[in-house]
Amino acid sequence: MRRISNVAGFGVLLVLLILFSVANDEGLMISKVSAAEMGTRSLELSDSTSGKSGVTYNTSFQISTAGTLGSVEFQFCSNSTFPSDVCDVPAGIDASGAIFTKESGISGFTILSQTANEIIISRPPAPILAVNATALFTNITNPTNSGSYYLRVLTFPTDNASGAYTDNGGMAFAINSPISVKATVPPYLYFCTGNTIAGTDCSTASGDFIDLGQLLSTRTSSGQSQMVVATNAQNGYSIEATGATLTSGNNTIPPLSADSPPQVGVSQFGINLRANSNPTVGADPYGPGNGQPTPNYNRPNLYRYINGDVVATNSSVEDGRKFTVSYVTDISKSQPPGIYASTFTYVAMGNF
Amino acid sequence: MKTKLRQLLRPVYAAPALALIAVSVLPIFMQTADAAAPYQVVTRSIKMSNSQTSAGSVTYDVTFSESSSSYPATIKGIVVDFCSTDPIPGDTCTAPAAPFAVTSTFTNDGDSVTNNASISGWTGGILNSGRTFDATSATGVATSSTAYVFNFQLTGVTNTATLGSFYARIFTYTTTAGATGYTDTNPNAGGGEQDYGGIALSTANVVDVTAKVQEQLTFCVYTATTCATQSGTPAVSLGNSGILSSTAYWVDNSTKYDIQTNAQTGATVTASAPTTLTGPGGATINALTTAATGTSIVGASEWGMCTYAGTAGGGTSGTFTPNTNYNGGTTACNATNVTAGSGTTSGVKYYFNGIGSTYGDPIATQGAGSGYTGNVVPIIASTSAAQAAGIYTMTLDFIATGTF
């Protein structure tokens, strides 16, 4: 074999030798991070309203590195989650009065220090496994402005967050304006009268003329009408009856000024809003509402009439109520003849 | 003879030097005028799977072609000797600095080369305390009329700790004894040397690449056309001109939200309200804690909401999913089925169970991605005829929570 053995000669070649780095199949290498990144983590707010005080911040984070844990730092920033970056304090945030309310997965911690954007909780350093931990803080004031913000969570083996951290994790959270919702419920009064009304449906009201027939001194005459009322008046309503008693020219049938039963042969006129048996006329209040006749018109078989009296009322909203008005009259033998008539007007008033 | 040889060599040295300047890769050695074996292998290289100093478990992919003068021949031994000094056969070879070591293990995947001279099945070994690899086979590989390409992979190699160049010397033998008897100063000590060649390798600094991908959660709630055009506190007024009716429900479509996150487990949107719609004297219009259709709430004092997706962001938007209670039920809550304004008939179900809830009731989730904009929250309300008159108000708070 021939062999090139002149080392000096080859020295020249070596100087000119082109050295090549053989391609690295794996390409660029990613540098190793000295501390571990936390696993699954989140931050839950009880209220995301900008500037809101008394907000609860519930942090959950998965500790990656088992070892010694003495303190945990929570730092709020407006710019970045990375510990290597400067932390810009979110405007308006205030954790200086935060209360450390609850912990799980970790134990024995109390607040060591707190500022507007940082809370450090501490305990005597103790072993910790790689666990899921939570830390709940109340009484935090949100940042003033809407937008995205960040929380950095760092664990330390020391009890005062000094030295190198062990694990770190970042979270993003959002601050917003709430939605203001308004709705107006308009005042509402539903009222009708008629000889008859089906159910509480005013569209069925019919008739506005009651004929009491031939008045005799030997018997009581009667008739009835109905009225329906519904309202959302918060303070309820009242129904007033107005109109003169039965009149014929200068002659009248005297109205009963006090609750009285019918008296055959005595000239008198009265009403009530109840079901009666003497005579058989009228009906009790009907419907889902709670309205009632006023006391003077609320007793069966007793009648009265005073022009302008409130005959029915309710102190709150009425979800539909039908009242039946019973008209009862008697005459004496000396009652002057004639056609006796009257017009009764019922006025419902809602108290909003 | 020696002198003559030196004189002969100098111009020979100059030629390859000049050639090296002009060409990026050239054989390191120029063969003398002697045409007998050993011959210089050509097209030779060693590809390292990792050039980091002191890296372990590195694979060296060795490739070389026979010299055109070398075949036909039966190759029965191969030596690859690693030196820190030089690639020159016959020179003393100093091992690359510790922890450099080769092992006896190798593979032969051939790299799909044509005319692969496979050494699969050969016996691997090490010489010189892990400086030198050798492989032998009593049968060998018979190379015939075309140049054969050897390609095999030394596995489990540990790189030198020295940053920079080091060398490999490749030898082939027609006898197994030639490979096992190899010495650096006398490569042919065992006889049968057929081909030789030198290769330069280099360790290199690794390049640290750092890229920060920050946790992201973007969430905007608004009643304007877009988030950007929202001014002041977003406000909703329920009812025709803000007045509710007992004969028809009212649907408001103006509440919207944009959401985007890179949280790998996604983000959850929740809604809460400290109180329901409250009016004079503490009168309330209650939330639908049992989902109900628009048709069913006409004439009742109730309100509720549902939600549906807006426009997906570009690329991978992530999945937007309304929560089951807020997706409208059998008749989906969407732009087709939900009509803003007054109505009496709607099969879409509405719901709300976030009154006084600490963190709100979940209404939708958004997966990691470019997110969705303009997600709508239709709010429906109706009133009964007996509902106390007045102005009813409440505050709705939407919260997004990302799980990273």
Q: How confident is the model at residue B148 (pLDDT cuts 50, 70, 90)?
A: confident
CA distance A189 to B224: 37
DSSP designation for A14:
H
- Which of A43, A47, A234 lies at the smallest CB-CB distance from B388? A234
Q: Which residues pair with A55 in a beta bridge?
A: A140
Element (H, E) at A319: strand A318-330
| pTM for this entry | 0.68
Chain A residues 58-97 with CB within 8 Å of chain B: 58, 80-82
Among A88, A179, A200, the strongest candidate for a mutation testing the B interface, having the largest count of B CBs within 10 A, is A179
- Which of A7, A16, A46 lies at the smallest CB-CB distance from B359? A46
How is residue A309 written in tokens? 């009296």
Q: Which residue has the tokens 């009439």?
A: A305
Q: How confident is the model at residue B199 (pLDDT cuts 50, 70, 90)?
A: very high
Q: How many residues does chain A have?
A: 352
Among A44, A76, A181, the strongest candidate for a mutation testing the B interface, having the largest count of B CBs within 10 A, is A181
- Chain B contacts of A25, Cβ < 8 Å? 47-50
How is residue B391 written in tokens? 């102005």
Q: What percent of chain B has pLDDT over 70?
A: 89
pLDDT of residue B145: 62
Q: Give the sign of the dihedral formed by CA A247, CA A252, CA A258, CA A259.
A: negative
- Which of A30, A169, A234 lies at the smallest CB-CB distance from B283? A234
- Chain A contacts of B281, Cβ < 8 Å? 234
Alpha helix (H) ranges present in chain A? 7-16
- Chain B contacts of A49, Cβ < 8 Å? 397
Q: Locate the chain A residue with the closest alpha carbon to B34.
A: A2
How is residue A312 written in tokens? 């029915």
- Which of A9, A47, A183 lies at the smallest CB-CB distance from B392? A183
Q: What percent of chain B has pLDDT over 90?
A: 70
CA distance A314 to A320: 11
Q: Amino acid letter at B287?
A: A
Q: Amino acid letter at B213?
A: V
pLDDT of residue B113: 66
CA distance B261 to B287: 30
Q: Which residues pair with A191 in a beta bridge?
A: A229
Interchain contact, B51 vs A318, CB within 8 Å: no
How is residue A313 written in tokens? 């009322």
Question: Taking 90 as the threshold, does the pLDDT of residue B11 lie above it?
Answer: no
pLDDT of residue B17: 38
Average pLDDT on B129-137 reads: 96
- Interior CA angle at B164 toward B163 and B169, to 5°? 120
Give B144→chain A minimum CA distance, Å: 22
pLDDT tens string for chain A (352 positions)? 333 333 333 343 333 333 333 333 333 333 333 468 999 999 999 999 999 999 999 999 999 999 999 999 999 999 999 999 999 999 999 999 999 999 999 999 999 999 999 999 999 999 999 999 999 999 999 999 999 999 999 999 999 999 999 999 999 999 999 999 999 998 889 899 999 999 999 999 999 899 999 999 999 999 999 999 999 888 899 999 999 999 999 999 999 999 999 999 999 999 999 999 999 999 999 998 899 999 999 999 999 999 999 999 999 988 889 999 999 999 999 999 999 999 999 999 998 8
